[in-house]
Copies of this chain bind each other. A is one copy, B any other.
């Protein structure tokens, strides 16, 4: 049977989603380990995509094929009983055998949280990034509009060795002023390595007046990582949701 998992995690303690040879401190490894205990044999879990070390998820999606007598809800409760407290499975659904969480993902939404008060908030300190100083949100919105759409995002790709097409469709960038936070929402059909954090960093530099909104056109055209802004810290980033057709 093929099962779809909706997963939440606080990424602070982990080296990212993806299983790595030399550590069990990844989300995928923790989940596969518990699922192997349930299924009585190794289980391979396919995530909708990697999240980097320190990045959080409110709605990561993954799927795995295995046999069990348990109902989906019993699987959920079993897995949550054995997972560490900073990972939780919100939902388990039995799905069509052909469903693949990465290959069939239509869009993903990420949120980057920027704390704007000079005093940190102790309760959200692990999920938001401190950035002192006021940001010009109107300029950031103008820049966001120029980055939205289908573009070659080479300038926003954080890994030099990435050889595949760097064309992506970013369908929406929304900038929301919450109480003491600025929230940057990104929705698209796919994101390159570090792309969301580089988009956020570039928008912050526009907000700080270090770049103009209009310069986004030439940043995209440069197709050069050096042309874009800094990579924001991982802790402020959360994978919010993944949608399927």
Binding site for B on A (CB under 8 A): 8-10, 56, 58, 76-77, 80, 85-90, 118-123, 125, 127
Contact = CB atoms under 8 A, between A and B. Distances in A.
A123 to B, nearest CB: 6
A88 B8 contact: no
7 tightest A-B contacts by CB?
Answer: A10-B122, A8-B122, A88-B122, A86-B122, A88-B120, A90-B119, A88-B119
A8 B125 contact: no
Contacts of A87: 122
A42 to B, nearest CB: 25
Contacts of A90: 119
Nearest to A8: B122
Nearest to A6: B119
B85 A119 contact: no
A126 to B, nearest CB: 9
A196 to B, nearest CB: 19
Q: How many copies does the complex hold?
A: 2
Contacts of A80: 119-120
13 contacts: A8-B121, A8-B122, A9-B122, A10-B122, A10-B123, A77-B118, A80-B119, A80-B120, A85-B120, A85-B122, A85-B125, A90-B119, A123-B127
Contacts of A127: 123
Contacts of A121: 8, 88
A90 B119 CA distance: 6
Nearest to A9: B122
A28 B119 CA distance: 19
Contact of A119 (B9, B56, B89): B89
A77 B10 CA distance: 28
Nearest to A124: B123
A80 B56 CA distance: 26
A80 B121 CA distance: 11
